[in-house]
């Protein structure tokens, strides 16, 4: 097999002495994309890639803009400091734009108590009325955030479940430090029970007894308890 894979010159065997010039060998033509690519083709490919990237990111940006424009905040999942910072930022931005209603949809298993405290306080800090809508489950620190709104602004979808319970914490270290942390948890429990008693109209003694263990409520039970203001099935039922 020959190593040269280019085209061979075409010669006439009978006319070796012919004065006509020999046919020059034909050089293989490189297809676009082989060897050196044409600048025009490369630019087109890059433009296509940029367009695809922009289109891929567009829905996310568009959704974010729509949520801000509709003054809607979503709290879904575990509550931590990142969630608290994000919700605080959105509340402040929306409140600076106008004092129209802000809607917060909550579906959370709970999380960091102090993060829940931050959102609770910020809901009550801004001038804009805040309406909360419970969906899925509203538990622990999620229930604390939910209770921040005024009773008439607390809505629940029909299949939402609510959970109230006492705070828990893992402790380790010296005995004196463990004792200090245990006292702090008791103070936290008392403070949270006072909040729920105030926001539901229940006595502090009843809330303390109910939250001694996991206290689950359906939407209807939470309404009877004073945690939910109104159960709704569609957006038209939320008062503006």
**pTM of the shown model:** 0.74
In a domain, 142, yes or no: yes
pLDDT the model gives residue 171: 62
In a domain, 55, yes or no: no
pLDDT the model gives residue 14: 45
In a domain, 116, yes or no: yes
Residue corresponding to tokens 């702090």: 184
pLDDT the model gives residue 169: 64
In a domain, 19, yes or no: no
Domain that holds residue 154: 72-234
In a domain, 198, yes or no: yes
Using CA atoms, how far residue 84 sits from 5, 100, 129, in Å, is 68, 21, 19
Rounded CA-CA distance 198/204 in Å is 8
Active site residue ranges:
140, 165
Rounded CA-CA distance 6/177 in Å is 84
pLDDT the model gives residue 174: 81
Rounded CA-CA distance 66/90 in Å is 13
CATH number at residue 181: 3.90.226.10
In a domain, 84, yes or no: yes
What token pair was written down for 122? 């910020």
Using CA atoms, how far residue 220 sits from 18, 71, 208, in Å, is 107, 27, 21
Rounded CA-CA distance 232/224 in Å is 15
Q: How many domains does the chain have?
A: 1
Rounded CA-CA distance 240/228 in Å is 17
In a domain, 58, yes or no: no
pLDDT the model gives residue 175: 79
Q: One digit per residue, pLDDT tens: the chain, 240 residues?
A: 444 433 333 334 444 444 444 444 445 445 544 444 445 554 555 555 545 444 444 446 799 899 999 999 999 999 999 999 999 999 999 999 999 999 999 999 999 999 999 999 999 999 999 999 999 999 999 999 999 999 999 999 999 999 999 887 666 668 788 888 889 999 999 999 999 999 999 999 999 999 999 999 999 999 999 999 999 999 999 976
Residues 106 and 132 sit within 8 Å (Cβ to Cβ): yes
pLDDT the model gives residue 160: 99
What token pair was written down for 20? 């006509």
In a domain, 5, yes or no: no
Name, in order, each residue with C-beta under 8 angstroms of 127's C-beta and a sequence gap of 6 or more. Answer: 95, 99
pLDDT the model gives residue 49: 52
What token pair was written down for 1? 């097999």
């Amino acid at each position: 097999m020959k190593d040269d894979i280019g085209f061979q010159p075409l010669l006439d065997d009978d006319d070796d002495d012919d004065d006509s010039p020999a046919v020059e060998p034909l050089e293989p033509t490189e297809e676009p994309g082989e060897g050196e690519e044409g600048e025009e083709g490369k630019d087109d490919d890059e433009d296509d890639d940029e367009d695809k990237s922009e289109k891929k990111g567009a829905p996310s940006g568009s959704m974010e803009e729509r949520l801000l424009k509709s003054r809607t905040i979503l709290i879904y999942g575990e509550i931590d400091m990142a969630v608290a910072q994000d919700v605080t930022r959105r509340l402040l931005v929306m409140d600076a734009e106008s004092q129209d209603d802000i809607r917060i949809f909550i579906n959370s298993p709970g999380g960091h108590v102090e993060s829940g405290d931050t959102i609770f306080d910020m809901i009550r800090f801004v001038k804009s009325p805040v309406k909360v809508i419970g969906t899925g489950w509203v538990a622990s620190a999620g229930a604390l955030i939910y209770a921040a709104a005024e009773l008439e602004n607390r809505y629940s979808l029909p299949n939402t479940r609510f959970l109230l319970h006492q705070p828990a914490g893992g402790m380790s270290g010296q005995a004196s430090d463990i004792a200090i942390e245990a006292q702090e948890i008791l103070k936290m429990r008392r403070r949270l029970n006072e909040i729920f008693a105030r926001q539901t109209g229940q006595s502090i003694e009843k809330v303390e007894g109910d939250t001694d263990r996991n206290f689950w409520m359906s939407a209807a039970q939470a309404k009877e308890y004073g945690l939910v203001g109104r159960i709704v099935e569609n957006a038209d039922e939320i008062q503006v």
